[in-house]
Amino acid sequence: MTEQQKKQLIREALLARENSYSPYSGYRVGAALLAEDGRIFRGCNIENAAYTPTNCAERTAVFKAVSEGCRTFQAIAVVGGKEEKPSGDYAYPCGVCRQVLREFVEVSQFVVICARSEEDYREWTLGELLPESFGPAQLA
């Protein structure tokens, strides 16, 4: 991925965050998932009064893509933080979202970008964030 592609993905995640529905935690998250074919799927966290039905931003993006027939991905950018503040810290994908991503990607290739801004971000492969993971091959 080029530097420009990473910055664009972060911009998309920041836009996705604007739609965050998070009245209970006040923690607003946006994600942008880059498909192999160049399409970008945005997702935000969507909370619920019953709490447990809450969906994370990353899973919203994955489920949007998969439900549109897209299952091959290159990278995801994630931004988050309390309320309207620009992210004070990096927002890391939770364990459940790492596992959901793992279902559809090659963990040594797929890139996870956690950003505070277009200029300030960290990146890993999914394999680094979810080592020794359980996946489809175990059930084949």
- Neighbouring CB atoms inside 10 A of 68's CB total 11
**34 versus 56: smaller Cβ distance to ligand THU:** 56
The reply on whether position 45 binds ligand THU by CB under 6 A is: yes
Binder among 14, 32, 57, 77 for ligand THU (CB under 6 A): 57
The reply on whether position 47 binds ligand THU by CB under 6 A is: yes
The reply on whether position 54 binds ligand THU by CB under 6 A is: yes
**77 versus 97: smaller Cβ distance to ligand THU:** 97
Binder among 56, 79, 100, 105 for ligand THU (CB under 6 A): 56
Q: How far is the CB of 4 from ligand THU (least distance, A)?
A: 25
Interface mask toward ligand THU for 92-121; x: CB under 6 A: -xx--x------------------------
The CA distances from residue 26 to 45, 80, 81, 82, in Å, are 11, 10, 8, 5
Contacts with ligand THU by CB under 6 A lie at 22, 25, 27, 29, 45, 47, 54, 56-58, 93-94, 97
